[in-house]
Structure 1
Amino acid sequence: MPRPLLVAGVDSSTQSCKYITVNAATGEIRTSTALPHPDGTAVDPKAWWDAFTGVGATALGGVKAVSVSAQQHSTIFLGANEEPVNEAILWNDQRATSSALELRREFGPDWWARELGMIPTAAHPVSKLRWLARTAPETADRVQRVVIPHDWLTWRLLGAQGDPTTDRSDASGTGYWASTGAGYRTDILEAAFGRQLSVPRVLGPGERAGVTSGGVVVGAGCGDNAASAFGLGTVQGEAVVSIGTSMTVSMVDTLHVVDVTGHVADMADAAGAQLPIVATLNGARILNSAAHMLSLSLGELDELASQGPPDAQGLCFLPYLDGERTPLLPASQGALIGLTRFSMTPQNLARAAILGLACAIADAIDDLSRAGLVIEIVTLVGGGSRSAALRQAVADLTGRTVGWPESREYAALGAARQAAWALTGELPDWPPAKRQAVDPAERAEWTTEVRERHRNTAAVLYGAELT
């Protein structure tokens, strides 16, 4: 029996680097390896390369093609010798908030939404470039090139020869590339940084970035959200909620979104369509923090949250623990409101944490609906998707069926699918991941009150800051 043709996918996420090998014909995962990344919102990119090498993504034993997905927005500044001149600033770093607000004022939110499909936050590279130019001009003077993690890892894998490449999904998250077809906006890049910089060439979804010295084909690569949707086999009408360090809600669609609130960004997917997305800073860490506060495991927290009243007996937990990006509340903290002698129980505290995250997900789904997208089903992925209480709460609060696939590294799988595409020239027709599902409860009158409580409490605490 002939040995199957193998391809590889890499996901260099915030927390770790995952490497998988996959049967190119069937999409079956054959091997999987992972190594952690250092914590923090600023990291020496060499730590990412060390993990990339450590999982075997440079050895590539037995594979014919590889593609790389990675955390989006995190920004690497390269000097004349192609080495980083500064730590990479991650997507969840808030230092560029004032720069993002400056850029909003200079061009106007409507202009950003119309011309770029997004409105700058501290997460976006365009804001980080403005911050670096304003606060560290001597360092900024040394910068010759700006790249995103998947661009940099792909380029290094190819021996750092020639110019780096990227793809539509990661380019569309920079703040200076328009997914509507306008491409790079050098006027915005110059306005942000004060001069032009070298930027990666944008490849099409099935293009090759190159071939390694060992003869392995390297695909275009993509951002992690686009890779997850591609690995899942997402269909139109399906909102994918990724609950990891952050929380994102995205959809594969052909619609170009213009959202003047800035909540929905018009990003590109990994296969030539669009990936409108809502991103928050706070995801599974909400549940991790609540479990730590109650001295519970995540499984115990989930069980406890299912034992009390579904509305947490009036407790309202606003989960802005690390500040927030959507809504734009960079200096905010979390809040627990509605404490009484009767509501102060472990069950209600656990349930309030679940509802805080579930309401954030429901708000994001509403944002996508207001932008003109039709959402028929909701799929949860990532570490937070393991919570049965959260799955049911999202179904109840949104009134939609909520599904979840088996636990797999979907971003790495999406990258592997892209690698197979680059190798063969044909989009692989791998079977989509099977989902289990739960429907909204028939009687869930409490949901309207819970959502109103969260909205009203946030409005009172944050007022005009809620945009």
Structure 2
Amino acid sequence: MKAYLGIDIGTFESKGVLADADGRVIATARRAHRMLVPQPGWAEHDAEKNWWGEFCEISNELIATSRYDPSAIKSVAVSGIGPCMLPVDGNGAPLMNAVLYGVDTRASEEIAELTAEVGLDELLASGGNALTSQSVGPKILWLKKNRPEIFARTRCVLNSSSFLIHRLTGRFVIDHYSAGSFNPLYDIRAQGWSDRYAERIIAPDRLPELLWTTEIAGAVTPEAARQTGLAVGTPVTAGTIDAAAEAVSVGVKDAGEMMMMYGSTMFIILVADRRIEDPRLWYAPWLFEGQHACMSGTSTSGTLTRWFQEQFARELDPETALATLAAEAENSPPGANGLVVLPYFSGERTPIHDPAARGVVFGLDLTHSRSDIYRALLEGIALGVRSVIETYEEAGAPLKRIAAVGGGTKNRIWSQAISDTTGWKQDVCANTIGAAYGNAFLAALAIGDAARDDIMRWNEVEREIAPDAESAAVYRRGYPVFKELYSRTQDLMKGLSTRDA
């Protein structure tokens, strides 16, 4: 029997999957953890505990639960939240907590500095992206300026997947797709690290070696085998960011196909056969040579529902609280009885890229209930996604299909509101485990045990979420208010954000 191991490190939990050669799930495991917020605008993880510790626990559990001999696991693929910034020493030991992706906005000053120095045109030409909170380069510069003693000890800067790969194989490597988010350090024209910023930010020899996602990075070492339960010598792929693995898991493989990930944030990937140039969108080479990725993301979605649960539904059982709130929200009609929410509770990424943006609940009166407010939060996320889809259209990016993935697809109001606000049907595959399942497929693909088209056999479309005309009309009336609300309050928001300084 053959099996393939996929493990993913998320914002709030890690997941693992063992799948067989036909894509059947043999066993799953997960571990919950918290995102650390030491001060407003910061978001961190303990890499040793949350990343490697949970990888080891999950790997051992999957082997024990499945009763597979470790030698039956033919390959391993990993992914994780990204882009992150984790400085490590020569032994791969973390020198501080990992700085997370775009929800961490600590490098706003460095973003402004580098944009002024380099110029937006050159940033787009060489890196494919404007600098935003999603860019790793400014966060490395923040490290250099604000933690010089740590920067001096840094042998390599890793992200979540490359940290795991080092622990498994002893090599410092990163895939091209992940490296594309290290802007301005990755040169898309040469598809390699640039030495232009060696003095200003960091030298290329302190960054990981570049590989394509399904290249084999190395083999499980004896020490890694002891901790994970895997067999010594098991092949390990180069890994990738979680959203890319999620896209693979639901069959996003051809130009015009889009993955919409319902997670802690909404993250969207469109595969293209050419580079889409727009400063509001992110670019990276896709997982395979010759393809391109055009990406976007919101700052809060699942994090917003979790916040609401913890602050306003404390009496509910934590295990079922979100389901209970979703059921309550069904009692509120589309439009939430006149409420409009700006879901910018951690700033916002696409399309406004404003770390100073703040959440707004607009239209409240004494008749509104908790169910109205919770529904309005979900609809606010959906209206934000509509503005993202409009950005793709304005950039000339061809869109042919949307595949939805992630735990949020089980929330009927949330997923239906996105189809209603955008006008696009969403395909939901039978298996919605997400990135961990995509990793299992990538592990099989990397060693030649699967072809790219096999993912549609592994994970067939189970249902469609089609737009509802009546609800869509309600959201069309609310969308101009959503847009104008930010326009009219953004200067006030900047005044409130002075506490971040």
Residue from 266, 271, 283 that aligns with 1:252:
271
Compared CA separation, residues 205 and 291, structure 1 to 2 (3 A) = closer
The DSSP-based 3-state class of the residue aligned with 2:286 is: coil
> Which structure has the highest helix share of the two?
2
Compared CA separation, residues 180 and 411, structure 1 to 2 (3 A) = farther
Give identity over the alignment, percent.
24
Alignment of 1:120-269 (within 5 A): 120-158=131-169, 160=170, 163-175=171-183, 176-193=185-202, 195-213=203-221, 214-234=232-252, 235-260=254-279, 263-269=280-286
**Which residue does the alignment assign to 1:42?**
44
Compared CA separation, residues 33 and 208, structure 1 to 2 (3 A) = same
Alignment partners' CA distance in 2, 1:89 and 1:453: 35
Deviation at 1:83, TM superposition (A): 2.5
Compared CA separation, residues 35 and 291, structure 1 to 2 (3 A) = closer
Residue from 269, 287, 295 that aligns with 1:270:
287
TM-score (ref. length: structure 2): 0.84
Kept in 2: contact 1:79–1:143 (CA 8 A): yes
Residue from 394, 397, 411 that aligns with 2:435:
411
The DSSP-based 3-state class of the residue aligned with 1:251 is: strand
Kept in 2: contact 1:376–1:400 (CA 8 A): no
Unmatched 5+ stretches in structure 2: 37-42, 64-68, 222-231, 495-501
The DSSP-based 3-state class of the residue aligned with 1:320 is: coil
Compared CA separation, residues 447 and 44, structure 1 to 2 (3 A) = closer
**Which residue does the alignment assign to 2:39?**
none
* 1:108-134 Cα shifts (integer Å, max 9, x gaps): 223222221112223322011110111
Alignment of 1:360-399 (within 5 A): 360-399=384-423
Task: Say whether residues 1:77 and 2:105 are aligned partners.
Answer: no
Compared CA separation, residues 205 and 49, structure 1 to 2 (3 A) = closer
Deviation at 1:242, TM superposition (A): 1.0
TM-score (ref. length: structure 1): 0.90
**Which residue does the alignment assign to 1:86?**
96
Compared CA separation, residues 181 and 189, structure 1 to 2 (3 A) = same
Alignment of 1:93-108 (within 5 A): 93-108=104-119
Kept in 1: contact 2:250–2:405 (CA 8 A): no
Compared CA separation, residues 323 and 270, structure 1 to 2 (3 A) = same
Structure 1 window deviating more from structure 2 (72-81 vs 288-297): it is 288-297
Alignment partners' CA distance in 2, 1:166 and 1:464: 41
4+ residue runs over 6 A deviation = 57-60
Residue from 445, 457, 461 that aligns with 1:434:
461
Alignment partners' CA distance in 2, 1:352 and 1:100: 33
The DSSP-based 3-state class of the residue aligned with 2:16 is: strand
Kept in 2: contact 1:168–1:179 (CA 8 A): no
**Which residue does the alignment assign to 2:497?**
none
The DSSP-based 3-state class of the residue aligned with 1:173 is: coil
* Corresponding letter in the other structure for 1:36: A
Kept in 2: contact 1:226–1:268 (CA 8 A): no
Alignment partners' CA distance in 2, 1:319 and 1:274: 29
Compared CA separation, residues 99 and 435, structure 1 to 2 (3 A) = farther
* 1:252-289 Cα shifts (integer Å, max 9, x gaps): 222212112xx210123323322211022201122233
The DSSP-based 3-state class of the residue aligned with 1:31 is: strand
The DSSP-based 3-state class of the residue aligned with 1:11 is: strand
Alignment partners' CA distance in 2, 1:55 and 1:114: 41
Alignment partners' CA distance in 2, 1:298 and 1:148: 30
RMSD between superposed Cα atoms in Å: 2.4
The DSSP-based 3-state class of the residue aligned with 2:73 is: coil
Compared CA separation, residues 257 and 37, structure 1 to 2 (3 A) = same
Kept in 2: contact 1:190–1:196 (CA 8 A): no
* Corresponding letter in the other structure for 1:423: I
The DSSP-based 3-state class of the residue aligned with 1:93 is: coil
